[in-house]
Amino acid sequence: MPLIVHKYGGTSMGSPERIRNVAKRVAKWARAGHQMVVVPSAMSGETNRLLALAKELAPSRVSPAYNRELDMLAATGEQASSALLAIALQAEGMESVSYAGWQVPIRTDSSYTKARIESIDDQRVRADLNAGKVVIVTGFQGIDEQGHITTLGRGGSDTSAVAVAAAMKADECLIYTDVDGVYTTDPRVAPAARRLTTVSFEEMLEMASLGSKVLQIRSVEFAGKYKVPMRVLSSFTPWDIDIHEEAKSGTLITFEEDEKMEQAVVSGIAFNRDEAKISVLGVPDTPGIAYRILGPVADANIEVDVIIQNLSKDGKTDFSFTVHRNDYARTIELLKEKVLPALGAQDVVGDAKICKVSIVGIGMRSHVGVASTMFRVLSEEGINIQMISTSEIKTSVVIDEKYLELAVRALHTAFDLDKPAE
C-alpha cells in the first residue's frame, strides 16, 4: 500500500469546520488504499497568540532558559490541532491516533526555537499504520537528548512533514496550503504571475531562501537530501474532488532537470522585503578585514546575506552587507561598540528600507546574458542597483524598497513569465 504524508498549514486547520474538511479529505485518501500520516500546523494565529503572551510577560529576555519555555509554549499549538484532527477523523469513522513530537520520537538538537531534526524513530507510527490507523504527527516540534521539547523555527511544520516522509520512505509528501502551488512570483505583487506545474528542487531552494513564503527552506533542503517527492497544493479545493485529479494538482518539486517541462530560462522572480543594508565606511584595506567585521556578527548569531567590498582608495575601503531587518539595530550597535574602535573605521551607516529581488532558473546555467538583461530592465525603469549577488541559478539585486513592485513586474514581463507556458 502506498504511504502518503499530508501536511496541512494553519489556515487549512483554522476552524473546526476546516479541520472537519481536512479529516474528510484524509479519509478519502485512506479509503482509496493509502497508508496515511498527517502533519498539521497549529490553528492559524495560534503560534503568534502564544508567543505574544510570552512577550507580554518578558519582552526582551533572550536566554536559553527563556527560549526553552517558548518552545514548551509554542509546541502546544500543534498538540491541540493534532488531537482535534484525530477526533475529527474518528468522527468520520476512521481509526486515528495523534502523537506529539516526543512521543514518536522526533529527535532534534537543543537549539530552542530553531532546532534541527536529527532522527525520527518510525516504529510506533508504522505499527499504527499497519493496524489500519491514520496517524497524526504534530508539526513544528521535537525533543532533544535531555528530553526538552524543541521547535523547528517558524513555518517548521513543512520540515516536520518532509522529515517524516523521508524517515518513512513515503511515496509522496503533499503540502496542503492556502495557495494552489508555487507561482512564478507573488500574484499580489505581479497579477500576471502563474502557477508552475513543476519546479526543480534547486530552484525551489533558491525561491524558498529568497523569500518566497510557500515552504520553509529547511523542508526543501530535506526533500533534496532524501529525494522526497513533494507537491504543494491547495487545501481549498472541495474535499471530495476526484483523487486522481487532486494527486496531479499544484506544483510538483522535481529532482531531474529533464523532468522539468517548462524550459524557461528564468522560472521565477523571488523577493525579500525583510532585509537591511549596513555599511562600514573607511576601513583599512588589509587582510582579515572581512573576518574582523563579520566574525563578531556571526558570533552574535546574526545571519549575513549579500556582501560587497568596494575598491580601496588611499588604503581605505567601504564594506557593506545585508542582514535580516530584525537584526538591523543590533548589528549596528554591535559594530559601533566592538568593531569600529578596534578597526579604526570611520563610521557605520545603514538603510533598513531596502529589498532584494532575484531571478531564479536552472536555465541560467546554459544561457549567457541573463543577468545583463535583468540590469537593463531595471535601468530602463530608473531603478538603482545597490548590491548584486549571483549563483549558478540566480541573480539577486538589492534595491530601494519603494521600487519592489515595479522591479518584480518589469522582470516578470521581460523574462516572458506573463505568458502561459506552452
With binding defined as CB under 5 A, does residue 181 bind Mg ion? no
156 versus 361: smaller Cβ distance to ligand ASP: 156
Q: Backbone phi, then psi, for 394, in 5-degree steps?
A: -155, 155
User: Which stretch, 155-163, 194-202, 364-372, 391-399, contacts ligand ASP (CB under 6 A)?
Assistant: 155-163
With binding defined as CB under 5 A, does residue 155 bind Mg ion? yes
User: Which stretch, 5-13, 43-51, 83-91, 244-252, contacts Mg ion (CB under 5 A)?
Assistant: 5-13
Helix (H) or strand (E) holding 24: helix 16-31
Which of the listed partners (Mg ion, ligand ASP, none) does 47 bind, with a CB threshold of 5 to 8 Å by partner kind?
A: ligand ASP
How do beta strands 106-108 and 117-120 pair?
A: antiparallel
With binding defined as CB under 6 A, does residue 139 bind ligand ASP? yes
CB of 155 to Mg ion, least distance (A): 4
CB of 13 to ligand ASP, least distance (A): 9
CB of 157 to ligand ASP, least distance (A): 3
Residue of 376, 377, 375 whose CA lies nearest to 387: 375
Which of the listed partners (Mg ion, ligand ASP, none) does 150 bind, with a CB threshold of 5 to 8 Å by partner kind?
A: none
14 versus 156: smaller Cβ distance to ligand ASP: 156
Answer for which of 42, 205, 214, 393 binds ligand ASP (CB under 6 A) is 42
Residue 384 Cα to chain centre, angstroms = 28
User: Which stretch, 104-112, 156-164, 198-206, 355-363, contacts ligand ASP (CB under 6 A)?
Assistant: 156-164
64 versus 187: smaller Cβ distance to Mg ion: 187
Residue of 293, 312, 272, 283 whose CA lies nearest to 398: 272
CB-based closest residue to Mg ion: 155
CB of 158 to Mg ion, least distance (A): 6
With binding defined as CB under 6 A, does residue 138 bind ligand ASP? no
With binding defined as CB under 6 A, does residue 41 bind ligand ASP? yes
- In the chain the first and final C-alpha atoms are separated, in Å, by 35
* Contact criterion met (CB below 8 Å) for 324 and 372: no
With binding defined as CB under 6 A, does residue 67 bind ligand ASP? no
Which of the listed partners (Mg ion, ligand ASP, none) does 154 bind, with a CB threshold of 5 to 8 Å by partner kind?
A: ligand ASP
81 versus 279: smaller Cβ distance to ligand ASP: 81
* Contact criterion met (CB below 8 Å) for 85 and 40: yes
DSSP 299: H
User: Which stretch, 22-30, 149-157, 194-202, 305-313, contacts ligand ASP (CB under 6 A)?
Assistant: 149-157
* Contact criterion met (CB below 8 Å) for 78 and 46: no
Output the CA–CA distances (angstroms, integers) from residue 103 to 41, 86, 159, 290, 346, in the order listed.
Answer: 17, 15, 18, 45, 55
Helix (H) or strand (E) holding 410: helix 404-414
Q: How far apart are CA 240 and CA 248, in angstroms?
A: 15
Alpha helices by DSSP H, 300-403:
328-334, 340-343, 370-380
User: Which stretch, 40-48, 267-275, 367-375, 382-390, contacts ligand ASP (CB under 6 A)?
Assistant: 40-48
Which residues, at least 6 apart from 160, have a Cβ–Cβ distance to it below 8 Å? Answer: 7, 39, 101, 106, 117, 137, 138, 139, 140, 141, 142, 152
- Look at the chain and count its residues: 422
Q: Could you tell me how many residues of this chain bind ligand ASP (CB under 6 A)?
A: 12
37 versus 289: smaller Cβ distance to Mg ion: 37
29 versus 140: smaller Cβ distance to ligand ASP: 140
Which residues in the 269-308 window bind ligand ASP by CB under 6 A? none
With binding defined as CB under 5 A, does residue 211 bind Mg ion? no
With binding defined as CB under 6 A, does residue 156 bind ligand ASP? yes
Q: How far apart are CA 133 and CA 339, in angstroms?
A: 58
Q: Give the orientation angle of helix 217-226 with respect to helix 201-209, to 10 degrees.
A: 160
Interface residues with ligand ASP (CB under 6 A) are 10, 41-42, 47, 77, 139-140, 154-158
